[in-house]
């Protein structure tokens, strides 16, 4: 069974950028794990919103959305929204999670995305990619070895919101699953629900043209064997 670990900066990131693909993995029998770096506690345009209550609500919403895909586990790191940094501490957290869960494939933000305006997206992507090296090299984190967390190398990276995508997944059959998952994030869809839905569909339709399908999601796919990148793209 393929094990897929998705790293998002906020609740709803994975559904937004890769929900159709996650749905396809789920239908193919993959085990799916979500890792969410922040609780999205600043994700409201209402200045009267209580950040702590919003964070708690968004965790619940993420749990409900994950059920649409049959996600086996959600890991919340609890960092402050808008303040995420790709620190050595975050890198270690992610690397030890990689060692513990031993995913075959990592879904994460493209940290090299030009003109990305949300710093959390870049930080989450940077930390996720950097942690792969630390997870696979056994001399990193000797204290973890004592806990039985042996080195683990993730074989494939699929970077979403990619600057230069080279891999397209037909999500025509799972767009509805993605919509249902996004609808669970009620705190985020009250104002721009229709606009968001149209944006996602238009983007998927544009990606679909690249492979002759109705809808597709785009990634920068990197396949690694040992220390070498052996393939990029399909």
Q: Using an 8 Å Cβ cutoff, are 230 and 169 in contact?
A: no
The Cβ-side half-sphere exposure at 85, using a 13 Å CA radius, reads 4
Kindly state the tokens that stand for 202. Answer: 């238009």
197 DSSP assignment: H
Least confident of 20-29, 135-144, 158-167, 181-190: 181-190
CB atoms within 10 A of CB 94: 28
**Residue 114: burial class (beta carbons within 10 Å; 0-12, 13-18, 19+):** exposed
> Of 11, 22, 26, whose CA–CA distance to 64 is shortest?
11
Best-predicted range by mean pLDDT among 45-54, 126-135, 144-153?
126-135
42-68 average pLDDT score: 95
pLDDT at 139 over 70: yes
Kindly state the tokens that stand for 190. Answer: 């009250």
> Of 88, 98, 78, whose CA–CA distance to 126 is shortest?
88
Which residue, chain included where needed, has tokens 């708690």? Answer: 56
Give the pLDDT band (50/70/90) at residue 140.
very high
Relative orientation angle of helices 88-101 and 119-136, to the nearest 10 degrees? 60
Q: How many domains does the chain have?
A: 1
Task: Decide which of 224 and 190 is more confident.
Answer: 224
36 DSSP assignment: E
Give the pLDDT band (50/70/90) at residue 146.
confident
pTM: 0.94
Helix (H, G, I), strand (E, B) or coil at 87: coil
The DSSP bridge partners found for residue 8 are 36
Task: Decide which of 166 and 198 is more confident.
Answer: 166
How many secondary structure helices (H) and strands (E) does the chain include? 8, 8
Q: How do residues 110-120 score in pLDDT, each as one tens digit?
A: 999 999 999 99
The whole domain housing 132 covers 3-232
pLDDT at 228: 66
Q: Using an 8 Å Cβ cutoff, are 122 and 97 in contact?
A: no
The alpha carbon dihedral of 19, 21, 27, 28 has a sign of negative
pLDDT at 192: 55
pLDDT at 145: 84
pLDDT at 227 over 80: no
Q: How do residues 173-210 score in pLDDT, each as one tens digit?
A: 999 999 999 999 999 876 557 778 888 999 999 999 98
> Of 135, 218, 134, whose CA–CA distance to 170 is shortest?
218
Dist CA 31 CA 17 (whole Å): 19
Q: Length of the chain, please?
A: 234
Q: How do residues 60-109 score in pLDDT, each as one tens digit?
A: 999 999 999 999 999 999 999 999 999 999 999 999 999 999 999 999 99
| Distance from the first to the final alpha carbon of the chain | 20
64: domain CATH number is 3.40.50.10320
156-167 average pLDDT score: 97
Give the pLDDT band (50/70/90) at residue 20.
very high
Q: Work out the mean pLDDT of the chain and round it to a whole number.
A: 94
Helix (H, G, I), strand (E, B) or coil at 107: strand
């Amino acid at each position: 069974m393929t094990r897929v670990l998705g790293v998002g900066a906020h609740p709803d990131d994975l559904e937004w950028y890769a929900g159709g693909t996650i749905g396809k993995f789920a239908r193919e029998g993959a085990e799916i794990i979500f890792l969410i770096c922040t609780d999205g506690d600043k994700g409201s345009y209402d200045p009267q919103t209580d950040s702590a209550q919003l964070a708690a609500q968004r965790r619940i919403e993420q749990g409900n959305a994950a059920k649409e895909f049959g996600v086996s586990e959600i890991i919340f790191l609890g960092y402050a929204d808008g303040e995420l940094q790709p620190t050595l501490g975050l890198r270690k957290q992610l690397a030890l999670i990689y060692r513990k869960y031993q995913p075959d494939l990592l879904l994460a933000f493209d940290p090299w995305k030009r003109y990305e305006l949300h710093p959390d997206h870049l930080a989450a992507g940077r930390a996720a990619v950097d942690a792969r090296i630390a997870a696979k090299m056994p001399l990193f984190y000797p204290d973890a070895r004592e806990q039985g967390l042996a080195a683990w190398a993730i074989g494939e990276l699929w970077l979403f919101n990619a600057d230069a995508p080279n891999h397209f997944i037909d999500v025509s059959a799972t767009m509805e699953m993605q919509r249902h998952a996004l609808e669970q994030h009620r705190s985020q869809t009250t104002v721009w629900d229709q606009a968001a839905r149209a944006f996602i569909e238009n983007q998927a339709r544009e990606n679909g043209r690249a492979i002759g399908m109705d809808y597709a999601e785009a990634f920068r796919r990197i396949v690694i064997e040992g220390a070498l990148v052996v393939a990029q793209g399909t």
